[in-house]
């Protein structure tokens, strides 16, 4: 998709809007579908705030589905193009065998404890920094980590949105 302006976003019909922004929140087009009716947006920030509010106001089970849609970090499985790109930017596609095994063990511990994968906006981070955050966050309480994961989901969405907008 070519870069868009906020005025172009405001002229989109529902189908085009969902096609353009349905993957901002990992395989959860319902966020864009439900945000469409909030148009017109005055800025990228207002669009982002509307998307975020939609997620924050969603029923907990729907939010959990969104969290569960994210891939495990460092995993060698099928994932969205955006996730592949983000993980590659952090070197997670080139882990050594021992790094890979450490990530898998942490992913498993995290998922068992919280019921969703470890989520972090990893763009530009190093594998060591990500692993340190995983080790720290796996010790959080369930309520704290739920909020932390949502905050990270919104950071990821913001980065994805920024990539799609023409410079101002």
Structure tokens, 50: 């509307």
Dist. CA 125–CA 99, nearest whole Å = 15
User: For position 124, what pLDDT does the model report?
Assistant: 85
Options 70, 131, 137, 160, the catalytic residue? 70
Question: Any catalytic annotation for residue 70?
Answer: yes
User: For position 52, what pLDDT does the model report?
Assistant: 97
Domain boundaries, the chain: 6-164
- Mean pLDDT in each 10-residue stretch from start to end of the chain (168 residues)? 90 96 94 97 96 97 95 74 77 83 92 96 90 96 97 96 82
The three-state secondary structure class of 165 is strand
Which CATH entry fits the domain spanning 6-164: 1.25.10.10, 1.10.10.10, 1.10.3330.10, 1.10.357.10? 1.10.3330.10
Four-point Cα dihedral 105, 109, 111, 117, nearest 10: -50
User: For position 65, what pLDDT does the model report?
Assistant: 95
| DSSP alpha helix (H) spans, 36-141 | 44-57, 60-68, 81-89, 97-114, 127-137
User: For position 1, what pLDDT does the model report?
Assistant: 60
Is residue 136 exposed (0-12), middle (13-18) or buried (19+ Cβ within 10 Å)?
A: exposed
């Amino acid at each position: 998709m070519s870069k868009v302006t906020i005025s172009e976003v405001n002229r989109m019909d529902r189908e085009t809007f969902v096609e353009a922004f349905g993957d901002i929140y990992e395989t959860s087009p319902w966020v864009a579908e439900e945000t469409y009716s909030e148009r017109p947006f005055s800025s990228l920030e207002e669009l982002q705030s509307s998307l975020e509010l939609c997620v924050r106001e969603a029923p907990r089970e729907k939010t959990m589905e969104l969290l569960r849609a994210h891939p495990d970090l460092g995993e060698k499985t099928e994932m969205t193009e955006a996730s592949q790109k983000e993980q590659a930017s952090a070197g997670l596609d080139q882990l050594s065998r021992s790094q890979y095994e450490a990530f898998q063990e942490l992913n498993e511990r995290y998922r068992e404890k919280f019921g969703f994968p470890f989520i972090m906006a990893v763009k530009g981070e190093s594998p060591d920094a990500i692993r340190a955050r995983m080790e720290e966050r796996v010790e959080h309480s369930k309520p704290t980590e739920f909020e932390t994961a949502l905050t990270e989901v919104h950071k990821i969405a913001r980065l994805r949105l920024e990539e799609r907008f023409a410079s101002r």
